[in-house]
Amino acid sequence: MSDNMHKDETGQRRVCRKCLTAEMEEAAYFENLRAYIESLDEEVKASHAAYMERLALCRECGLLLDGMCRACGCFVELRAAMWKNACPYDKWTAETDKNSEAF
């Protein structure tokens, strides 16, 4: 477990939201980001199908650089993880009918 992760009183792993990226090792930073995405509430998470489709489109996009979108500055995995988000260039859109299970 990295320095920016800790366990709460129930023993669950929690992400430290007070750490600055400059204070983290790169691997710890990405572990923190992935843990944050996984910990999103089910109500805000995109469906699995939408998440995978969005990331496939980002992978093909010339604006993707090191996991970040150069149009909006977001990490695309975080942006794509939420059903209400959309690509700034409309390459993928917000989900309007989220009936399927979150990823």
Q: Which stretch binds ligand SF4 (CB under 6 A): 3-11, 17-25, 28-36, 87-95?
A: 87-95
Q: Which stretch binds ligand SF4 (CB under 6 A): 21-29, 30-38, 45-53, 57-65?
A: 57-65
55 phi and psi, to 5 degrees?
A: -65, -35
CB-based contacts of 11: which residues, under 8 Å, 6+ apart?
A: none
Q: Would you say 15 or 75 has its CB closer to ligand SF4?
A: 75
76 binds ligand SF4 (CB under 6 A): yes
19 binds ligand SF4 (CB under 6 A): no
64: left (phi over 0), alpha (psi -120 to 50) or beta: beta
Query: What do you get for the CA distance between the two ends of the chain, in Å?
Result: 23
The Cα 2–Cα 20 span in angstroms is 14
Min separation Cβ 9 and ligand SF4, Å: 38
Which residues of the shown chain bind ligand SF4 in the complex (CB under 6 A)? 57-58, 61, 63-64, 69, 71, 76, 79, 87-89, 91
